[in-house]
Structure 1
């Protein structure tokens, strides 16, 4: 074989190995804070990207592997109050798993780093997680990942000073929908195949939904996510097909259909963009039937991805902390 041909084969093999590495999924992920900012600043010229600098009162622990699938590792970054990290005599505190935005097929866990830092400053342990996106693994893989992260946090509760009886799951946009579905399916084995043989629960006691859909099947949701002739939408990519092609999955992934007497309390923290609130009111109405706490807070004059920016990250965090305090620190 000619040297040029051998070189070409080597290049191809190198590329394949790179695609199968632990931290580099085989697709381009361009959903960055900078790209979102370039779009949002056109309509909100006063915004600034929220800082990810870690203040002195917070301890950051980065790149912790929480689950492995063969050679693939999924990691998280954990933030905790310094006083908690340095004084093991303090009582454990509630923990929060945070699931990032990006339309189910893109995004990074660092999108929720500013929120995690604010929660740690308020006395909580918060972890931002990487999960498998649609190009790597379609629905319901992301839900499996989030439940694995919850189980990891509960398994390591002593080390990170977390109260295993007080764990919340939250997320923004696509992550908000995933968080809602994760919490609403507490105890359902088909959404947690890794639970088999484990004594550690992936159940959560609280849900934080930041501008995430609650019902994929509604006409309003499909108006944006199931438009004929416009190619596969974000949701369509996650499900592997349109509503007509994968109707059962669109229904299966809608948190509103799982509301029951054992559902956790939920906070809906919303932007001014109505399209991302689809199914919320119906879900709240169902929860009222069972006497389950819910709260809806809307931040006026905000873009969808308000959690990425000043001046909204701190007001948004205050809303989240107030709900956490109310439910976890009565």
Structure 2
């Protein structure tokens, strides 16, 4: 599987980008990624961004505005597609996200990435996947598809925005969860727990940044509160950002955008 060569990378403002690189083969089509690269050729830390959409929708270019600050601050930003439900059920997408980590580590020299400084980030359902990538390091059940098995899929940190953290709290009739799991949480109880970051807090926990709006009507704020409490109880390093009166989409709203980004980069400076 050949990636685009650096000589072909176009320059855009303060960073360069590569679009449509295949990182793995999905269930019915190639899985693609876009990369935003800092101008410096020094080895840089990298963030792999996983989009939201309730596991049934969304594309890797949403929200593009969220990723542009990363290369401007010296981080490689890679944002990926993954197979959606109902065509793909848990843990297919999780395995594909881990394949993206391995791919980036395998191509670290080409894109000037420090392979020891890779983090994962996600919004909403993408935050659920990002959390699980970070929390299930070394668990062979979730390694999924893709090449480069000689490389690790572990990450050093995770960034979670408005994330689904406990699937057991949603309605048994929730269409997204039913498509993702192949049934309700009651019907797919074991899978539901495996797919809920809230119930995957064991072993050595990685540093996590977690942001949430306390007026979120899609993913209840109580999920954020409960996850943070459990993470601290498990002695995990966690940094929080609360968007006062913020909705589910707080992360891209002007009144919270800069403060959230400032807090994110402060977290990354300390942990990546």
TM-score clears 0.5: yes
In structure 2, the partner of 1:57 is: 14
CA contact (8 A) 2:24 2:145 kept: no
Check 1:256–1:170 CA distance in 2 against 1; reply closer, same or farther (3 A cut).
same
Structure-2 separation of matches of 1:237 and 1:70: 16
Distance 1:266 1:276 in 2: 19
Deviation at 1:319, TM superposition (A): 1.9
Question: What is the correspondence of 1:1-330 to structure 2 with a 5 Å cutoff?
Answer: 56-69=13-26, 72-82=29-39, 84=40, 88=41, 90=42, 92-194=43-145, 198-217=149-168, 221-222=169-170, 225-227=171-173, 232-274=174-216, 275-328=219-272
What's the offset of the Cα at 1:316?
A: 2.4
SS class of match (1:109)? coil
> What whole-Å deviation, never above 9, does each CA across 1:1-36 have from its counterpart, x for those lacking one?
xxxxxxxxxxxxxxxxxxxxxxxxxxxxxxxxxxxx
* Cα distance in structure 2, aligned partners of 1:101 and 1:174: 5
Give the unaligned 5+ runs of structure 2. Answer: 1-10
The 2-side partners of 1:195 and 1:212 are apart by: 26
1:197, distance to aligned residue in structure 2 (A) = 7.8
Q: 2:245, 2:234 → 1: CA distance?
A: 33
> Secondary structure of the equivalent of 1:193?
coil
* TM-score, length-scaled by structure 2: 0.88
Is 1:215–1:279's contact at 8 Å kept on the other side of the alignment?
A: yes
Q: 1:172–1:211: 8 Å Cα contact kept in structure 2?
A: yes
Q: Distance in 1 between matches of 2:65 and 2:147?
A: 35
Instruction: Please identify runs of 4+ aligned residues in structure 1 that moved more than 4 A.
Output: none
- Mapped to 1, the partners of 2:23 and 2:255 lie a distance apart of 32
Q: Distance in 1 between matches of 2:107 and 2:21?
A: 12
The 1-side partners of 2:197 and 2:21 are apart by: 29
- Deviation of 1:311 (Å): 4.2
Higher helix share: 1
Find the residue that maps to 2:61 and give its secondary structure. Answer: helix
Whether the 8 Å contact between 2:205 and 2:237 is mirrored in structure 1 is: no
1:215 and 1:278 in contact (8 A); partners too: no
- Contact 2:103-2:147 at 8 Å conserved across structures: no
Q: Which has the larger radius of gyration?
A: 1
Would the aligned equivalents of 2:103 and 2:148 in 1 still touch at CA under 8 Å? no
Query: Which residue number in structure 2 is paired with residue 19 of structure 1?
Result: none
**2:5 alignment counterpart:** none
- Cα RMSD for the two superposed structures: 2.1
> Following TM superposition, by how much is the alpha carbon of 1:194 offset from its aligned partner in structure 2, in angstroms?
3.8
Partner Cα separation in structure 2 for residue 277 and residue 111 of structure 1 = 23
Asked if the contact 2:99–2:144 (Cα under 8 Å) also holds between the matched residues in 1, the reply is no
Count of aligned pairs: 260
Q: Deviations over 1:292-322 (max 9, x none)?
A: 2101111223221123343443332222111
